[in-house]
Amino acid sequence: MAVPGTERLDRFLADQLAVSRTQASRLIGTKAVRVNGQPGRAGRALKHADTVEVRFAPDERPRTLVPHPITLDVVYEDDAMLVLDKPAGLVVHPAPGHWDDTLLNALVARGTRLSGGGSGRPGIVHRLDRDTSGLMIVAKQEVAHRRLSRAIGARKVERHYAALVWGHIRAPVEIEGAIARHPTDRKRMAVVATGRAAQTTVEPLARFAVCDLVRVRLATGRTHQIRVHLAHIGHPVVGDAVYGGGGSRRITGSDRPLAETIERATPRHALHAARLGLIHPVSGVPMVLRSEWPPDLQAALGCASGDASLLARPNPLEYLGFFE
């Protein structure tokens, strides 16, 4: 495994293998983990150039995926790959607290063939946060997995997100800020000079009274990247409990009641992966897939816009020019 940035070895293993810190420490304690060819220590601070090798004993291999039936909205599928419209609240791969009820468990229950991928994460070439909805690619063949991963790394897959953000963004802005674990809060990410390079482009689409609807384009794909970058420039995603920076309390004066109403109407962070543009990894055919604004965020959009007729439309993102 190539190391993405500075982080403790035990934490890095827990994240990458979808195991607990205890299990990761046990692997390290049995000298099953080597860093640059030498036995690792749990507290070792990894660096960008480090390579981590794990040798599993038969009883220490990552968990097998248990089938768990969940209804999935598959918008495209062939022998090489599928694209699904992930609902908010669904974890992508097994991790502490969600070992058997993830997207991967649902795909196994569905009988979907998955490529090998990383340990414990077959088929996964990119991820969405648990409470982010929208389009996501899953590889079914090894060759498709390799080519899709390379295309994403080479920034040849277009990933566009729709988001409601607090305040007003007056012109398109390109955000460049390296991202790593927050120095004091393990559960958060932050813009940190020693992190991995990250680039996000944000374009305003519609200005409402206290927030904007924006189109976000990802050049890189770091953990929580969009939410961290938008918070970094002072425009956090509406409904974001982690990076929201006070949420409606950011809005002062006579607009505060409206902001509080919008916040109450937003059940999770208002971020949706609405468009994918890619070259099919096997056929080479260009593909564009779209997903409209999700039903669970309709009320939030209606409150923010103050336009009841917008909610009556089946295609509010198209109407507002998102896909142009």
Catalytic residue annotation: 129
For 10, what's the count of Cα atoms within 13 Å in the CB-facing half-sphere? 16
Residue linked to tokens 């991202």: 179
Cα separation, 55 vs 33, in Å, equals 7
Q: How far apart are the first and last CA of the chain?
A: 39
Tell me the three state secondary structure of residue 107: helix
For residue 102 the two structure tokens come to: 């993830």
Number of helical (H) and strand (E) elements in the chain, helices listed first: 9, 16
Q: Kindly report the backbone phi and psi dihedral angles of residue 254, in degrees, each rounded to the nearest multiple of 5, phi listed first.
A: -70, -15
Instruction: Collect all residues with Cβ–Cβ distance below 8 Å to 33 and sequence separation of at least 6.
Output: 9, 13, 27, 39, 40, 52, 53, 54, 55
Residues 6+ apart with CB under 8 A from 14: 20, 21, 23, 24, 96
DSSP state of 188: -
Give the H/E segment covering residue 166.
strand 158-166
